[in-house]
Chain A
Amino acid sequence: MKEKKGKRYLVTYKDQAIGSSEASSILGVAKKDCKDGVTFMETDAIPGKKDVLHFEHVGVSSIELSEEEKSNLLKNKEVLAVEEDIEMHVLELTNEEEQAEYMNASLLEENASESLAYDEGYHSAMVDMFSSMLYLGTRGKTPVNGNGERANSPLPINPRPIQPLPRLPIFPPILLPKQPIPWNISLVKAPEAWAKGYQGSGVKVAILDTGIANHSDLSISGGVSFISGVTSYNDGHSHGTHCAGIVAAKNNIIGVVGVAPLSKLYAVKVLSDGGSGPMSGVIAGMDWCITNGIQVASMSLGSSSAPSAAYSNAVKRCQDNGITVVAATGNSGYSSFPYVGAPANSYQRGTSKASPIAVGSVNQSSILAGSSSRGGEHSEWNQVTVVAPGVNVNSTILNNGYGTKSGTSMACPHVAGLAALIYEKYPGISPVNVERRITSSASDLGDSGYDTLYGYGLINCEKAIA
């Protein structure tokens, strides 16, 4: 093939994985003239008459051939097809625009934002594929030849009438379902913390409550019952299950999601299915937390009582064992005892320890719930530490369902979830420092600075792990 006249052809081989060495042998050209097609295209060059471009991954070579040479190649058993390389001009920018318009029209019909990236990606991929195959890497650029000289025309072939591409099939867009984010989870900026890589992974959180029921949106790692005559930690009330969902409902495509969806939930049943239980059971539950390496104890329970020495002692012992204790302040805001109840009000003279993080409740507008127990009684009592959403909070309930509940019980597990995020980011952090991070990062509400209604303000997961 000493003299090559005529047109440029695409030679397709039977063996798609054919190398340039074998290709040059079949084509009857020197190996040095057989260039890597992709590398050549990246230079924006256009091939000279002697240039043979081999596209190794698709088993195609581009070469100028005379009619005779073409006929000879077609007789070669290794050659599948020899086709004129006319499509180069057809796939000029005009056609690309038409494709884009067509795609855009389809997108408008779909009117689905999720499909945009898919269709654009599909369109781009198709154009790139054709461009690679037909070396139309010169879209929108002035091509140069193999010596780096600018060419006078976009491509060295005879212009032909522009034929529109056959319309490409549109595959239905893949609409991935998303996890609905409840308002309360957004309000405490939990998704922003997740975006930084913290979802409470592996942190052990105990829910001291009515137990936790099996639920497809919850994963229970273990538990215990301290209710007399009840061996199962299953929840027959739904209060504990609701609190558990606020801490760690899974980040999937169903229902709700918790503040720390990857934390490990433990059900410590200290309240009966009727919603109450003796204080001795609660303390026994706290001891179980120590024995079982729990890191966060969420206690959405209590009574309108003065501080208890037993609770204070138990809280301190938990803290000494690395457990952050979080307790609801109570729902006695309207009563004759509007103050923080036990065990949230626990304290011990002479130490800043022995007090849990006491959590009050706010609504969707970050306004204190009327029922949320206030600080103010006896300055030495533990007061409101922070507030979190506790009005009409949607979460997991019995029978694999979802429902809304209100109370400081609902606010408490938000803070427990935040503590789990902090433990994940700062392994080995002390409960005192967990509380410090929670209070220092809270968004101030009510009177400027600390106040007895809102404490240090609304928790902020994003800032707490910043």
Chain B
Amino acid sequence: MKKISEPLRSEISSETNKIYSIIVVLNEGADIKKLHLKEYNLLMKNILSTKLKSSEIKQLSKHDDVQSIELNEEAGIL
């Protein structure tokens, strides 16, 4: 769970069936196939975005090659 950043960590604890849009940072050289993700977008060499349920996010965070998981938040003009 330490790999899951706030506020996502709090949300998945309370909303167990909700699907979240997340961003996952992987270790250098990680094999993405081993993550068994159905769909994802590779944003950068070791950063991808995907949509997962709370339980799936918790499961993913246990993978050794996963550095961090966070909400795919909205950015806006400043």
| Residue positions of A touching B, CB distance < 8 A | 209-210, 237, 239, 270-271, 275-280, 282-284, 286-287, 290, 300-303, 305-306, 308-310, 313-314, 317, 328, 330-331, 341-343, 407-409, 412
Contacts and interface: CB of A to CB of B under 8 A. Distances in A.
A209 B78 CA distance: 10
Size class of the contact patch on chain B:
20 to 34
Q: Which of B43, B68, B70, B75 has the most CB of A within 10 A?
A: B75
Contacts of B6: 306
B63 to A, nearest CB: 15
Given A287-B44, A308-B5, A309-B5, A278 B73 contact: yes
Contacts of A279: 23, 72-75
Interface of B: 5-6, 21, 23, 25, 41, 43-47, 49, 67-68, 70, 72-78
A409 B23 contact: no
A34 B44 CA distance: 83
Nearest to B41: A280
Give chain B's interface secondary structure class. strand
B47 A328 contact: no
Given A309-B70, A310-B23, A310-B68, A237 B77 contact: yes
Contacts of B47: 283, 310, 313-314
Nearest to B3: A309
Contacts, number: 102
Q: Which of B6, B46, B49 has the most chain A CB atoms inside 10 A of its CB?
A: B49
15 contacts: A271-B77, A275-B77, A277-B75, A278-B49, A278-B72, A278-B75, A279-B72, A279-B74, A280-B23, A283-B44, A309-B5, A309-B70, A313-B25, A331-B78, A342-B73
B36 to A, nearest CB: 20
A174 B59 CA distance: 75
Nearest to B26: A313
A284 B44 contact: yes
